[in-house]
Structures are given as structure tokens and as C-alpha cells.
Structure 1
């Protein structure tokens, strides 16, 4: 039995009339202290800033158990040929498993799907659904979606809201899946809904697409480069190396920098490299958690990783750092093309989609895995065992000296090279 409707449909319409679909919440006035490490970039007003010194309290924190509701919307112009159960299985448990591995078990995404379709009042074609959706059309869609869901959903129970459209409806465009930030939160059931994930995926969907969109719910930026004319390569900034760049990447685990931001790394697992001398340290593979088997030097499974250093950082300016992390072909990166020490630049003031993270290619004259990589020129970006690499323009040298019996990488980092 549907629960009693807690507010009138007219009130929902009034609230949603203020929605600006492309607006964002900077959250500067509600930032919470997070880290004071010397290499922690400051959070800026940029959308999804990569700053780690504070957490934007307008976003849910992905730590512990977080509950999500999945709401299924049908339209008068089509009878669904799939079921809510089938569409739930398209995304779960794959999405939850990705985050459980990425967070080393510190974050669990619990989905609560509705068991039936909820009917929208207008045909799917009436909403003009597309990737670059107009604000009025998207606002109308959300207005109707909230009104349809309110009798059945207690929004106060959930931190994440997925509106899943009938994938076979004639007006549904699978390229339109994205997070919508609400300039004016929708107040339902005593809680403010600040953002929703609008899902228009075909059945079956694109790989890990919901994990990518859920990353935005937790304040992670888009790392791909969108060409002005929509043509050309989208993956020139980070290639295969982070889910927020491409959900199709061979190594989609989140960067260690993002895991630091999200609270999945302890402060002692991040080393700030300072001074002009050489610092030697051991970097555990990003993919390895406390109970994750990795390959030892003899090829046999080795355990015991998961609590050591995951990220080394060199400050290069007021708003920029170089980050160093070890990437193996395991866990979320089990399809990885190359292993080694990945080097990337982070800028705290860069906007989402504007290159806040850029992978630095240690092998700029070669490429790899051309048949499977989203961007082969960066597929062989890591510094391999026995190699050294000096970051162009920054004079920072990384030497990969060896591997321990447990599979960790031993490296030497020299921040400022001497003549």
C-alpha cells in the first residue's frame, strides 16, 4: 500500500518551478575542516574543486553505509518491456562492489529499489530529453518525477536518489544520464533533496555508468575533456586511469587523491615530499586493501598490504601538486594495461571538465593496448620498474627502484633537481 502523501502535488510543482537544471552548489559557506596537511590543496569556488583541506557539507560523505533509492518511471507512450528488478540488476551489485573495493570497505552503497513502475503524466517525447537538456524541459521532468514518487517514497531515508526512466520509451536518450544539481533544494518528507541522478540508460547499460554518476553525488569532478565541437578525443586528460574520466577505462579505480578527499585513506597513508633532497619510500598498490591478495615477486599471492603509504605528493605551486601512486592490474583495475608508478598533476581551482587532474605520460612517444584502451597514448603512462622519469616543467624526478616481497613499490622522489 502506498504511504500517505505528505504534501500536495501543487506544493511540489511550486517548489520545482525554481529549479535551474544547470546550476551548482558551491557550498563554500558550509565547508567543514578536513585536512591541514602541507600538501593539501585548498578548496576553491570551482565546481567539484579538488581541494582536500575541507569537505563541502552540501554533499553526502561516502563513508559507512549510505542509502540510495531507485525509482522507476514509465510513460503513457510506451509499455515497459523490462522490469524494475531487471534494471536494478543492470547496476547492482556492480556499482556497490566497485565502491566497496575502491574504499577498502569503508563505504557501502545500499540500494533500495521500488518494485513497480510509477507512471509519469506526459509522454516521454514531451520532455525533450537529450544530453544538453534545456533547463525548462529538465525542470518539468523532475517536477513530474517528484510528484509521481512522493506518495511511495520517504525521501528522508535516502542520501542518493536515482530516477530511472523506461529505456525503451521513444523519447528517452541514453546519452542524457547525469546528475542534476538543484539551485533550490526540493523539501520533501522533512528533508532537502539537493541533487538527483537521472538515468536514461539502455538495457543493458554502459559499463560502470552509474558508478561514475554516483561519484558526482559525492563531489567528484568530470575528468574527461569535452571537445568544443563534440568531436575528437574525450580522454586526453586522464585516459583509462580514473572512473571520473571514463567508465570504460581499463584501470577505472579512483585516484589516490580522490580516495584522500573522500576519507578512504588515513592521513598517515599520504606522504608530503618536501625539500631539495631525495626521499625514498614504499608505495602500496592503490588497488590493495587489507584483505586483497596481490602478486608477490615469485608470482604467488601475497597479503598484508592495505595500511601503508598509498600517495606521495609534491607541492608545485599555490594551487597545484604532483601526485605519485602505484597502480597494479588487480581489484577494480584487473583489466589494466600497464603497471607502475602513475604521475599526475592536480589543480584545486580547475572546474569539473576543465582538467582538474592531468596524467603525465612517462612514455610520450609510445602507446599501448590500442585495441582496448580509451586513449592508447596514456595507456603506458606509468613509470615502470627500473625506470626513472623527470616531470617536464617541474624538475621533479621519480625513480622506481624495486618491489618488495609483498608487492609494494620502492621509489625515490627528488623534488628539485640540482645542476
Structure 2
């Protein structure tokens, strides 16, 4: 009998890590693992069941239902098959003849601005722009519900940050009077609650105090305004708003970010925005896909009508059943159960009935203001809307949403 030589390389390898820093070990065990066990029951709060073919997905941001659009797919495929001269490099090296510059110019013209930058994500767009337009001597005033990427942009700029009460122009005005002119930062539609910014009033405060305003249109670009050009365009405020930013991972169903700039600031921003300097440019097929998406979005008026109709219908029915969703008005609906354990129970009940939303909790929300976020889209059918409403009605006596902390607070405020 032949005896094979022992080969250690074929044995399963046991991977070991060197010891962690004591401070990291302490934070992991005391802050995270204690919370993991006591609040989450030893399982990740963000992960529930796997959706199936019969599931209704309300956990994504493809508001117009553009994923798989034939025109977009064809543009991406053509680029993959025929683009062989591209160089993968930092976006700061791209010349004006590059397709990305054409896309930037098209996006800027669409929203009514002189110029703009396309970058890796909406997060990068916000951090990079704020890093370029604010500094240690520039106060930045942020709505208390502004997206985390905007707060991180202020941190990157090392600028003093001042939070004003959510959607409260009067409080903003008092803050500016106290600390001086600076940059005002708002979302057009807030990503956790679907609240619409009182943008006209905000702009008036900005002009009164000689400030600059940045509007993050991530959740209104494509869904609001003429040809989907956003809330600023819908309200006729584009020429009074200094900067517009957006994630192109929402209505554009892609993977990129965008922000506008005055043409004279282009090379200043190139030399002061770290995400643009130290991140590679988008790939050719991504650029081609986004360029095709822009044209699809422009002509998607029917989809915008359906999206807003679905929003009005579901918000009305949920409110009638007793769900406290008064804090928002747009296609994002927050079912704010409050504590994380209560939110996990809400999520599990919905998923048992094949309705899938997304849990939002700290740090995406304030502590003890966790929620299941439902994001509507234009592709929801009448029968799917019926199922969502019937599920909400069946669960109401079990979940008692009228007893959630947010509902009790609303009643107290009314009194």
C-alpha cells in the first residue's frame, strides 16, 4: 500500500488575531456586547428574515422603480463591451473631455446650476463640499435631523457646528443672530421621517442674515420638481440656493453622489475636497449608466405621479388606523416604535406577513427613537398597497401604535 507524504499545506488553517488594545476591548465588551445582549437579544438588530418572491420590499430607495430599466442596462452593457481606453485614477485628474465631466455638466444644467462634481457617494459629496466651503472661523447651522454625512462634513472642516430645532426657521434666525453669519445646512426631505423642509422660509432667513445655504436633495432629486429636478426647482428657489447636494443611490438607483458649485470655484474645490482628491473616479459603465438614468428620470412624470399617489394613500390609511406618522409627509414613512426591542418586535410582525421595511436606530436616530422605515416606490401595485394596509390594520390591536412614545408626546403637545 502506498503511503502518501504528509502535506501540512492541505490541512485547515486556524486563523488567529493578535491581542486588541485594552481600550478597544473595553469599549467592545462594555458598550457594544452589553447592548447586544440586553437590547438586541444576541442578534443583529438590522437583520431579520430573508425576503422571498412574494415579499413586498419597502426597504430600498429606488423611488421611481428604475432598477433594470432597459435603456439604463443597455448603456451600461455598451460601456462594458466597448470602453477600453479608460484610466482608473483620482477624479481630480479627469480632463474636460472625459465622460464624467459631461455627466457633471448635464446634472448641473438639469438642476439649474453652473457646474458640479460627481463623486463616490452622497456621503462623500457632503463631506467634500463642506470641507471646502467651511473652516474653523465659519459657523455651520444644521437642522437637528440633518443627515449624518452633513455633520461629518462639518467635522472634517473643523467648523463650529450649531444645531437648530427641526424645521424651525425662527430658531435658526435666533441662532445666527447669536453666533454670526455662516453656512446653513438642511435636507429637502428628511431621510428618517419623510418630513418636508420649509425651504422657502429657510432661504428667507439665510438672505436676511447674509448666510450661505446648502440643501441636500437626496430624497427629492428625481421625485420632485419639473422633470424631477428637485424641491429647489419645484419652489423656484434654485437661484437663491448656493449649493445642492444629492446621493444618486436613491431615485437614480445608482452608486454615486453629486454636488453643485459656482463655476469659479471648480479648481478651488478640487484642491480642498479630500473625498474628491483621494477617491478614484467612477467606472466607465457607472458613468454611462448614470447618464442614461438622467434621461430616464427626466421623462418619468408618470412614475412621479404614482409615487406621490401611493404616498398620499398609505399615509392617509395608516393615520386613520392610528399609526402616529404625523412627523412626515413624503414617500418615507417612519413607524417609530421607540425602544429598540419594541422596534424589533414591530419588524418581526411585519416580516412574518412578508412586508419588509428597514430598522433605523442610533446612531441614525436619537436614542430610544428607533423605527421601522418604509420607503414607497412608483412600482407598488394596487394589490400590494391593499396588502400593506390590511397588514397594518391587523397588527394595530397587537402593536397598539397609539401607545408608542411618539403618539403620547403628540397628545401632550396638543394639550
Give TM-score scaled by structure 2 length. Answer: 0.23
Q: Which has the higher contact order (CA 8 A, sep 6+)?
A: 2
Q: Which has the higher helix share?
A: 2
Which structure is larger by alpha-carbon Rg, 1 or 2?
Answer: 2
Q: Which has the higher strand share?
A: 1
Give TM-score scaled by structure 1 length. Answer: 0.23
